[in-house]
Amino acid sequence: MALNDYMYKTFPHLALRPPLFYNWDIGIRFELGVDYDPGEVCENGPYLQGVYERATQLFKSLHAPNDSIYIVVDVSNSADSAAFKHKLNTFSKYVKEKSLLYKLGHDIIPYIFWEDDEDGSCRTHRFTLPCKTSQLRYIPILKAICNHDLGIRPSIFHRVYFINRDKHTIFHVYDDRGCDVVATSPETIKGIYKRYNDWILDYDRNEIDQVFK
C-alpha cells in the first residue's frame, strides 16, 4: 500500500508534520534530553548518551524485528533535495541491504509548513522507503537525528518519521529534546506508557494520562 493510501485509511485528517502529538488524540510525548548543559554537550558526554539511550529503547519497544515500516524523510524546498535523491548514500548508510534502495519513493508535495509559505512557492520533497525493522540500522539513524541541533556529526537535519504498518504507530524524534509517539489505539502504546512513564514530558502529562485512564 502506498504511503498516502495508508495514511488516509489509518490516520485520517492527520498531516504528517510536527508536532504530531498535538494533532492526534492518541499519543505520548517523551522527554529525551535531561539536564542539558551547552558547555558539556559532546558525543560521549552523559547528556547525549542519555538521549541516545532513551530514543533507542523507545524505538525498540515499538518496533519488532519483523514489523513492516515506512521510513519517511521530508526535505523542504531546498537545493539539496535533488542532491539528497541523487546521493542515496544518505539512506544507504542506514539500511542493511542496498537493494532496498530500489524501493525508495519520491513525491513532491505542497510545503508542509504552509502557514510560512506566503506566495505558495515552497515544496516538500518526501522520500519513502518501505522495509522491515530488521533491515534498518536504526541506532545510527536515531543518533544522527538527535545530533542535528547540537553541531555533532553525523547528523540528519531533515524530518524523519517511522511509521509502523503492523502496529499503526508513528514515531518521530523531533530533536534531542524529545519524541512523539502516536497510535490508532491506546492499547497499542499502553505498554510503553507504563514502562517509560518517568520519561513522559511533564508539561503534557495530564493530557497523556487521560488517554490511558
Rg (CA), the chain: 17
Distance CA 204, CA 176 (A): 17
Per-residue pLDDT of the chain (213 residues; tens, 9 = 90+): 899 999 999 999 999 999 999 999 999 999 999 988 887 788 788 999 999 999 999 999 999 999 999 999 998 765 555 545 544 556 888 999 989 999 999 898 888 887 877 777 788 889 999 999 999 999 999 999 999 988 898 988 889 999 999 999 999 999 999 999 999 999 999 999 999 999 999 999 999 999 998
Task: Tell me the three-class secondary structure of 180-211, residue by residue.
Answer: EEEECCHHHHHHHHHHCHHHECHHHHHHHHHH
Burial of 17 (0-12, 13-18, 19+ CB in 10 A): middle
pTM for this one? 0.93
Asked if 178 and 50 touch (Cβ cutoff 8 Å), the reply is: no
CB atoms within 10 A of CB 6: 16
CA angle 90, 150, 148 (to 5 degrees): 25
